[in-house]
Copies of this chain bind each other. A is one copy, B any other.
Amino acid sequence: MSHNTFGHLFRVTTWGESHGAALGCVVDGCPPGLKLDEAWVQTYLDARKPGTSRFVTQRKEPDAVKILSGVFEDDRTDGQVTTGTPISMMIENTDQRSKDYSEIRDRYRPGHADYPYDQKYGVRDYRGGGRSSARETAARVAAGAVARRVIGEDILIRGAVVQIGPHMIDREAWDWDETTKNPFWCPDEGAAQKWETFLDETRKAGSSSGAVVEVRASGVPAGWGAPVYGKLDGELAAAMMSINAAKGVEIGAGFGAAALSGEENADEMRMGNEGVRFLSNNNGGVAGGISTGQDVVVRVAIKPTSSILTVTRSVTRDGEEVDVRTKGRHDPCVGIRAVPVAEAMLACVLADAKLRHRGQMG
């Protein structure tokens, strides 16, 4: 992982600030001959789009993607396909209202990247959070759409929010179909109702709330990943922790495994009709850094945004003590918007793992 690139063979480099002319990514290492056009990528960007409920910010960006390179179509190809050369995708920023940034440029918002950015770089594009804005995740989602072509349709990636604030879902009530019926990607109908009330209160109070996101990949064959520092779970951890506001990552039983005994935690094996069958999945589909053939299960903890109406104490660039209060639009729970991003990161890590596996086996 380089600073603005992730992946090893399926490599994604993103660029762009919140209030610049555009943002985008270059996907290098995509194999040739895969179907890819703007409509396919747009589908995933639309799923990510903010402004779809009162629980996510009302910024109205069309987020229309342009594919600038790496694809080709003639009468010999099956529609537009990848060529094996770098795929450059761009999304223009259309919602750059001219604004007064005098406050934000000098006052460090607690919990934000303002202070460490200034400490490091001395100069920063403070408009809308600049490079640390969640806008950057649009580029990841576009890359994730390409990654899905690489891993193919046999691998199914899905995501859900499993906790908002202190309220967890009931795992017994899990129903994937529910995730598209509420504005929270919540797989538990009952929890979704509670969250609605909870987040309405949060929003009205000018406060915000943390969340836990869970993403799963089904259909991953056994054998992807590698031991030691190329572990599939290590790659997943780095990928998920790179999402804005992420503060924790776990695989399978995760932190819960700390409380288990060896017998409880061991994923026992029997023979099934199609080979080995596991009796549980505490390992979350990865053992010794290599996929086992079970579902890959990852959870990410997303902190509550610090952009709140409540006044918090801070300092200015010049060392003056001040009170800070975020006006205008903001998300009461940024974790909700993290679901399509975490799915995209999972897709990218798997695409990379698939290609690396090919390159490892000779």
Given contact pairs A3-B229, A208-B261, A287-B113, A269 touches B313 in the complex (Cβ within 8 A): yes
- B237/A235 in contact, CB under 8 A: no
Q: Is A282 an interface residue (CB 8 A)?
A: yes
Given contact pairs A235-B238, A321-B271, A362-B31, A229 touches B261 in the complex (Cβ within 8 A): no
Least Cβ distance of A102 to chain B in Å? 10
A202 and B260 alpha carbons, distance in the complex (Å): 11
Q: Is A180 an interface residue (CB 8 A)?
A: no
Most B-side CB within 10 Å, residue of A24, A29, A248, A284 = A248
A74 and B122 alpha carbons, distance in the complex (Å): 13
Most B-side CB within 10 Å, residue of A246, A292, A310 = A246
Among B20, B72, B236, B279, the residue within 8 A (CB) of A69 is: B20
Least Cβ distance of A360 to chain B in Å? 6
Residues of B near A44 (CB, < 8 A) are none
Residues of B near A32 (CB, < 8 A) are 120-123, 361
A239 and B233 alpha carbons, distance in the complex (Å): 11
A270 and B324 alpha carbons, distance in the complex (Å): 12
Residues of B near A271 (CB, < 8 A) are 315, 319-321
Given contact pairs A212-B258, A287-B112, A355-B362, A303 touches B228 in the complex (Cβ within 8 A): no
What are the interface flags for A287-301 relative to B under an 8 Å C-beta threshold, 1 for contact and 0 otherwise? 111111100000001
Residues of B near A183 (CB, < 8 A) are none
Among B209, B212, B310, the residue within 8 A (CB) of A255 is: B212
Given contact pairs A125-B83, A248-B248, A308-B262, A13 touches B1 in the complex (Cβ within 8 A): no
Task: Tell me the nearest residue of chain B to A113, going by C-beta.
Answer: B288
A163 and B257 alpha carbons, distance in the complex (Å): 11
Given contact pairs A150-B362, A222-B120, A257-B247, A5 touches B28 in the complex (Cβ within 8 A): yes
A321 and B240 alpha carbons, distance in the complex (Å): 37
Q: Is A174 an interface residue (CB 8 A)?
A: no
A255 and B303 alpha carbons, distance in the complex (Å): 8
A241 and B33 alpha carbons, distance in the complex (Å): 28
Q: Is A148 an interface residue (CB 8 A)?
A: no
Q: Is A138 an interface residue (CB 8 A)?
A: no
Q: Is A242 an interface residue (CB 8 A)?
A: yes
Q: Across the A-B interface, give the 3 residue pairs with the lowest CB-CB distance, nearest first.
A: A113-B288, A359-B359, A31-B362
